[in-house]
Amino acid sequence: MFVLKTLCGPAALQLLRPFSTKTLPTLTLFTKSPCPLCDEAKEVLQPFKHRFVLQQVDISLPENKLWWDKYKWDIPVFHLNGQFAMKHRVDMVLLDKLLQDIEVKKA
């Protein structure tokens, strides 16, 4: 309990995530550097960050050539649990609905 009293807010949530009995969905961000739209998208995602694990895939790396060929003109692109969700900008209404659908299935 000392840890919880010492750490409040997001830091405490990050610490507790590995011990959670529920597995959070994975939101994959296909990005490259630099990507101002990706940076903006990550800021927009902040209110949702406790509801998913964010995984970033740099499509400019040689091992991600498949994703480069597919998304080089469309980043940021988001997949939720491996399924295409949206591209170019974060659609907060859509993301909330997709996350709710997953949360309801797990309940």
> What stretches in the chain show pLDDT beneath 70?
1-22
What does the DSSP assignment read for 63-88? GGHHHHHHHTTT-SEEEETTEEEEES
Question: Residue 20, SS3?
Answer: coil
At 106 the pLDDT is 84
- Reported as type and span, the H/E element at residue 26 is strand 26-31
Set out the domains of the chain in order of their start, with CATH numbers: 23-106 (3.40.30.10)
Q: What is the pLDDT of residue 12?
A: 46
Supply the pLDDT for residue 107: 76
Residue 76: CB atoms within 10 A of its CB come to: 22
Do residues 60 and 32 make contact, with C-beta atoms less than 8 angstroms apart? Answer: yes
- Hunting for tokens 């694990």 — which residue is that? 53
For residue 62, the model assigns a pLDDT of 97
